[in-house]
Amino acid sequence: MLRLYTHSACLQHDPGQGHAERPARLRAVLQALDHDRHAALDRVEAPRATREQLLRVHSSAHVEHILGSAPPEDGTYRLDEDTVMSPGSVEAALRAAGATVAAVDAVLSGAVQRAFCAVRPPGHHATRDQAMGFCLFNNIAVAAAHALAAHGLKRVAIADFDVHHGNGTQAIFEREPRVLFLSSHESPLYPGSGREDERGVGNIVNGTLSPGAGSDEFRALWDDVLLPRLHAFKPQLVLVSAGFDAHRNDPLANIRLGQEDYAWITERLVALANTHAEGRLVSTLEGGYDLAALAASAAAHVHSLMA
Ligand SMILES: [Zn+2]
């Protein structure tokens, strides 16, 4: 049984007409998961993250800035060129981060083995002090910090296959040897970080894909570089920043994956969790901006998580 955390508040974060990171993304994912094949999903409403949970990875100035910046009705508040808040954004961001925390609690208590958080805004670009790249709070980092602080884990892995580098996650954990962060991403591309020589304290592993790369290059990168590092780390918990914008139809990037590649990487990560982490895996939605590609890819991911 796979647990699905989501919340209707995540549909109320609206960066505005024409913005790629739009509520229709989450609607498309949830509709795809309504299919009969996913009837066995254990659907749970995401709680809000607490200040204490957010403050493990964010500065108090950043947390107070986000919590205090909800614009009045029908207004927007622009944090940077492409990161915008609407009246529903604070609640959405709290539920998105809270989903990953609840999911960590659920898999570490043994209530379920794996969980997927269908939430937005995404998180992996948010740094300790700054919202950026559509991200307000760093959801997967909040989850990892919770696993360390509240559950006392010693080795938590974060696998990030979003097409963009998870610069925020890397920056938050680059001096934290209890967290291994691995990322496959297109380079050059936003946000510009993620070179292979960025290694943190030996706990950061970046793998780059050239524009135009496809399934063969993606699978070789994971099989030859990233998965061996993950296995050597022997994580007690596997966290996944699941972005689906490396799909060939995605408008924001130039990698040519198909939904079958997302099934493939998910199967590998599930096997890894089964080998080292008693099966414990928590995945959360990051990017993916073509609605049909996103829906099909997220469904393939969830299907593989349920296998
Ligand atoms: Zn992305």
Contact (CB, 8 A) for 205 and 179:
no
pLDDT at 1: 80
Q: Residues lining ligand 1 (ion), CB within 5 A?
A: 162, 164, 243, 245, 287
Give the angle subtended at the CA of 148 by the CAs of 106 and 3, to the nearest 5°.
20
How many angstroms does the Cα of residue 86 sit away from the middle of ligand 1?
21
Residues 7, 58, 125, 303: which is the catalytic one? 125
Query: How far apart (Å, rounded) are the C-alpha atoms in residues 157 and 171?
Result: 15
Interior/surface letters 262-280, b for 16+ CB within 10 angstroms, e for the rest: bbbbbebbbebbeebbebb
Centroid of ligand 1 to alpha carbon of 193 (angstroms): 13
**257 DSSP β-pair partners:** 247
Q: Separation of 172 CA from ligand 1 center, angstroms? A: 18
Per-residue model confidence (pLDDT) at position 74: 83
Q: Quick one: pLDDT at residue 73?
A: 87
In the predicted model, is pLDDT for residue 21 greater than 80?
yes
Q: What is the pTM of this model?
A: 0.98
**Minimal CA–CA distance to 258: which of 268, 247, 250?**
247
Q: In angstroms, what is the span from residue 118 Cα to ligand 1's centroid?
A: 15
Distance from the CA of 23 to the center of ligand 1, in angstroms?
16
| pLDDT tens-digit readout, 125-155 | 999 999 999 999 999 999 999 999 999 999 9
Structure confidence at residue 131 (pLDDT):
98
Report the chain's mean pLDDT, rounded to a whole number: 97
Does pLDDT of 36 surpass 90? no
To the nearest 10°, report the CA torsion of 266, 271, 272, 275.
160
* Pairing of the two strands 83-85 and 77-80: antiparallel
Convert the pLDDT of each residue in 80-103 to its tens digit.
Answer: 999 999 999 999 999 999 999 999
Active-site annotation holds for 125: yes
What CA–CA distance (Å, rounded) separates 285 from 273? 18
Query: Looking at residue 35, what is its pLDDT?
Result: 78
